[in-house]
Amino acid sequence: MKKINLVILFSGNGSNMENLIEYFNHNEFLSEDAKEKVGIQISCAVTNNPNAYGISRCEALGVNCEILPHKEFDSREKFDEALLTLLKKYNPDAVILAGFMRILSPVFTSVIKSINIHPSLLPKYKGANAIKETYESGDEFGGVSVHWVSDILDGGEIILQDYIPKIAGESLEAFEDRIHKLEHNLYPTAILKALNLTRVIK
């Protein structure tokens, strides 16, 4: 059976990371033409934040976690070089960003295929405050985008998007909770699409 090896990058809570590990590890998938079974293994997670709660999630899930503090590097490019060196140990087929709060430079993006999730309907509301900006906007919908990573902030090619209607009078916290639930549903599906795979084999 063909194996696909993924590494996740994260910076904080790690809920999207945990969702992906539980979805992919120990399951089998089919190629788009349904001729080949494929296994996906998330072999490692890497964080730039030594205090990230996601480290504990990795321990509980039995997934190796590497800590590479970005504050130890005096430029974005030097951090990315060290990240590439670290990833060579795992030889990933692709890298998945799950709440990784760093803009990757061409040093990294020109070498590694990476996928990111963003809590807005891109190209609207790029950056770290997307949920709040969507909530405060006059838009009728909020949403989530999964895209290929480029060196432009939230600017890579869209893989998949989905949306939820805004609810009059809803609190920011409730809206944010619905966005996170949408993320958890959309991200595995979008990654399968990017990898030319279809569904879980029951």
The residues carrying an active-site annotation are: 118
Task: Spell out the residues 6+ positions from residue 140 whose beta carbon is closer than 8 angstroms to its own.
Answer: 165, 166
Closest to 96 measured CA to CA, from 53, 40, 134 = 40
Distance CA 106, CA 154 (A): 14
End-to-end CA distance of the chain: 16
Amino acid at 2: K
H or E segment and range at residue 46: strand 37-47
